[in-house]
Amino acid sequence: MIIFDKENIMEKGMGIAIGIAIGTAIGVATGSMGLWLGLGVVLGVLIENGEFEDWGKWGAESED
């Protein structure tokens, strides 16, 4: 049986890739690619640094 922990689920740089993908998708849809790509990079860095691990501090329900 394989047990995954939080550190091994996401490869290094995957958070930034997710942020860029989200920013690119919104940028294409809205026509303002530069703005949304920049915000996507910021989102990716936040994901990479683990800022979204504790959803309770962002107003969502905690799993505790």
pLDDT above 70 coverage of the chain, percent = 62
Three-state SS at 2: coil
What b-and-e string marks burial along 30-51, b requiring 16 or more CB atoms within 10 Å of the CB?
A: eeeeeebbeebeebbeebbeee
Each residue's pLDDT tens digit, 6-62:
555 566 778 888 888 989 999 999 988 889 889 988 888 888 887 766 655 655 555
Q: Record the pTM.
A: 0.61
Q: What does 30-45 look like in DSSP terms, one character per residue?
A: HS-HHHHHHHHHHHHH
